[in-house]
């Protein structure tokens, strides 16, 4: 049995204390221990961005971060964006622009875009392309994704 360490953190605005296995990825911890399945498991080697979450406000590939690194930090997942049943403006714009096809990359794309808009509220195409450079959409919905981000920035 793997050694476990007690960690304390904030997830989607809620304080938590849990045990995490040494060597367990943050992706596994989010999905299996916290039961937040919006974060997707794609390549598991940091290439696709499907597992992107915000750790202390910065986008990270949760497949490359250890769960124990969450200790003392703030985690925001796709589930934490909506408030009181209202979608975040990015989530709504992705729907309005049909900025997805299969939808598998969508949570990671939205989380990367959220970090971008937090640091640069009025991004240009270059900013958006750079922010999404770690996220892969196999369906090729990039034009719609960029349009959704631009419209979310206007709101």
If pLDDT is split at 50, 70 and 90, which confidence band does 1 have? Answer: low
Domain residue spans of the chain: 4-80, 89-154
Fold for 4-80, please state it.
Ubiquitin-like (UB roll) (3.10.20)
CA neighbor of 113 nearest in space, from 137, 98, 129: 129
Interatomic CA distance for residues 10 and 119, integer angstroms:
21
Give residue-wise pLDDT tens across range 27-84.
999 999 999 999 999 999 999 999 999 999 999 999 999 999 999 999 999 999 999 9
Give residue-wise pLDDT tens across range 102-143.
999 999 999 999 999 999 999 999 999 999 999 999 999 999
Interatomic CA distance for residues 100 and 57, integer angstroms:
24
**Given strand 74-76, what is the order of strands in its sheet?**
14-21, 4-11, 74-76, 52-55, 58-61
Q: What is the pLDDT of residue 48?
A: 97
If pLDDT is split at 50, 70 and 90, which confidence band does 155 have? Answer: confident
Give residue-wise pLDDT tens across range 92-104.
999 999 999 899 9
Domain at 89-154, CATH from 3.10.129.10, 3.90.380.10, 1.10.150.120, 3.40.50.1000: 1.10.150.120
Q: Global pTM? A: 0.95
What secondary structure, in 3-state letters, does the chain show?
Answer: CCCEEEEEEEECCEEEEEEEECCCEHHHHHHHHCCCCCCCCCCCCCCCCCCEEEECCEEEECCCCEHHHHCCCEEECHHHCCECCECCHHHHHHHHCCCCCCCCCHHHHHHHHHHHHHHCCCCCHHHHHHHCCCCCCCCCCHHHHHHHHHHHHHC
């Amino acid at each position: 049995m793997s050694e476990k360490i007690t960690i304390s953190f904030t997830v989607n605005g809620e304080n938590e204390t849990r045990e995490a296995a040494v060597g367990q990825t943050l992706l596994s911890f989010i999905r299996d221990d916290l039961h937040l399945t919006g974060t997707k498991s794609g390549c598991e080697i940091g290439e696709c961005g499907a597992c992107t979450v915000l750790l202390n406000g910065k986008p990270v590939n949760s497949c490359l971060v250890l769960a124990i690194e969450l200790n003392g930090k703030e985690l925001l997942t796709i589930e934490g964006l909506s408030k009181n049943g209202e979608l975040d403006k990015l989530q709504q714009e992705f729907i309005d622009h049909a900025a997805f096809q299969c939808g598998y990359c969508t949570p990671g794309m939205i989380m990367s875009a959220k970090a971008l808009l937090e640091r640069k509220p009025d991004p240009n195409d270059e900013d958006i392309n750079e922010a999404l450079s770690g996220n892969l959409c196999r369906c090729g919905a990039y034009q719609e994704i960029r349009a959704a981000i631009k419209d979310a920035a206007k709101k």
